[in-house]
Amino acid sequence: MFSVDIKKCIGCALCIKDCFVNDIEMIDTHASIKNLNCFKCGHCIAICPVGAISTDEYNMSDVIEYEKKSFDINPENLLNFIKFRRTIRQFENKDIEKDKILKIIEAGRFTQTASNSQDTSYIVVQKNIQELKKLALESLNRMATQILDNSTSPLFRRYAKLWIQMYKNYIEDPNKEDRLFFNAPLIIVVVSDSQVNGALASSNMELMINSLGLGTVFSGFFTKASENNPDIKEFLGIAPEKQIVTCMVIGYPSIKYSRTVPRKSADISWR
């Protein structure tokens, strides 16, 4: 339940105006939360000038008072950070510290979700990467055969040939060339009911990964493999109705970039 401490409430009504689901009313001189339509977004907690609102459903120690110095980001730096981020496919043979893994997940946890559903979850794979790789490559190999039998798309056929080669390489030497997980020490599989929620969380996680001096590649190949192999979900303990949205392959980069890259100009229409 969300509640108002009436001893602190000054009756400013800011929480009432900002409540998207109209779940707060004024009773006499203070705000009162009905807890009927509340979807627990926490806007009332964040906006209250005197900190009168709290909830017993979440950990209130998550809440941090705004402080300009430690909260604001200069827009030029933010844009440079986004432009300089690269997909990393070469990693050091070095484990990732647990506090860094938790920080990455924290960036996902605080990402917005539709209707504040907070339906995103995270599967951290470190010890069982080889087994996961095997399942995924077996799946890609099977899919590749079907594609080569049935598809004329040059792109699909190119991928199919690559997947067959990846599987062959794995069978020859599971620890050699790895074009699926690039011999990275950490995989985080992001699971959600909604593709958008999971993708937004992944995007913020990627920013955190970069700010921690780590790097990542989104393994679309793995996501594709998991769509076609229920054993992968079972191996990861994911309920059949849940979606694997992204697979983030993470490690310390063993390379350095010196500059940003060019891109297509933005396709914008002003109306």
Q: Out of 30, 86, 103, 109, name the contact with ligand FMN by CB under 6 A.
A: 86
Chain residues 29-68 in contact with ligand FMN, contact rule CB under 6 A: none
Contact range with ligand FMN by CB under 6 A, out of 85-93, 141-149, 157-165, 203-211:
85-93
Q: Is 89 an interacting residue with respect to ligand FMN (CB under 6 A)?
A: yes
Token readout for 209 is: 């990964």
Place of tokens 């647990």: 98
Interface size with ligand FMN, residues (CB under 6 A)? 8
- DSSP codes of every residue in 26-67: EETTEEEE--SS-----HHHHH-TT--EEESSS-GGG-----
Q: Packing angle between helix 129-150 and helix 220-227, nearest 10 degrees?
A: 70
Beta-bridge partners for 189: 123, 247
Q: Is 160 an interacting residue with respect to ligand FMN (CB under 6 A)?
A: no
Q: Which is nearer to ligand FMN, 86 or 103 (CB)?
A: 86
Query: What is the phi/psi pair of residue 31, to 5°?
Result: -75, 145
Strand 215-218 to strand 243-251: parallel, antiparallel, or no bridges (unpaired)? antiparallel
- DSSP codes of every residue in 91-103: B-S-PPPHHHHHH
Contact range with ligand FMN by CB under 6 A, out of 53-61, 81-89, 92-100, 146-154:
81-89
Nearest to 205 by CA among 192, 157, 232: 192
Token readout for 154 is: 């040059």
Chain residues 222-251 in contact with ligand FMN, contact rule CB under 6 A: none
Q: Is 122 an interacting residue with respect to ligand FMN (CB under 6 A)?
A: no
Place of tokens 């055969």: 145
Instruction: Count CB atoms within 10 A of the CB of residue 252.
Output: 19
Q: Least separation, in Å, of the C-beta of 205 and ligand FMN?
A: 13
Q: Which is nearer to ligand FMN, 35 or 87 (CB)?
A: 87
Q: Which is nearer to ligand FMN, 55 or 111 (CB)?
A: 111
Chain residues 186-225 in contact with ligand FMN, contact rule CB under 6 A: 217-221
Q: Least separation, in Å, of the C-beta of 111 and ligand FMN?
A: 16
Q: Least separation, in Å, of the C-beta of 89 and ligand FMN?
A: 6
**Rounded (10°) CA dihedral 62, 74, 216, 267:** 120
Distance CA 13, CA 25 (A): 9
Q: Least separation, in Å, of the C-beta of 176 and ligand FMN?
A: 17
Q: Is 87 an interacting residue with respect to ligand FMN (CB under 6 A)?
A: yes
Q: Which is nearer to ligand FMN, 170 or 221 (CB)?
A: 221
CB closest to ligand FMN, residue no: 220
Q: Is 181 an interacting residue with respect to ligand FMN (CB under 6 A)?
A: no
Query: What is the phi/psi pair of residue 136, to 5°?
Result: -70, -45
Q: Which is nearer to ligand FMN, 174 or 220 (CB)?
A: 220
Residues that bind ligand FMN (CB under 6 A): 86-87, 89, 217-221
